[in-house]
Amino acid sequence: MSYIVANTKTPILDMMAYSWGIISGSFLAPYALALFWKGLNKAGAWAGILVGFFVALPPAVAKMAIVLKLAESAAAAGNPPNAFDALAGKGPNYAVLAMLCSIAACVIVSLIVNAAGKKQDNEFFYSGVVASE
């Protein structure tokens, strides 16, 4: 059943590609890197979240433009409406790209901040103990 849904044009597939693409592009890299790399810091995590979000966003915006009939006004201005259709269908591709860009942004920004000598405030995450009262 999943194969049939994946290979047909359904609005559910579009919604899932946009929503989970943006979520995974934004949060997968900071989450996974925080589990396995102690060098990740707050600035790197925020950079990964923002980069992933903005990389995964264009197909969703193109789909909204189609739905809101903004594509017709763009066609009147000389831009082909096919550009919106082509971009709106690339949600999964942009989601994968967002995940890769988010990983790169997390690592690069964390390394730059760590090299600048900023104090890391994530030590409690790895070795902290919560005392019970």
Do the domain assignments include residue 59?
yes
Total domains in the chain come to 1
Is 54 within a domain?
yes
pLDDT at position 109 is: 94
In a domain, 109, yes or no: yes
Q: Which of 45, 30, 86 is nearest to 63 (CA)?
A: 86
Kindly state whether residue 6 falls inside one of the protein's structural domains: no
- CA-based angle 60:61:63, to the nearest 5? 65
In a domain, 44, yes or no: yes
pLDDT of 71 higher than 70: no
Domain limits at 102?
16-127
11-37 confidence digits (pLDDT tens):
676 777 778 888 888 999 999 998 988
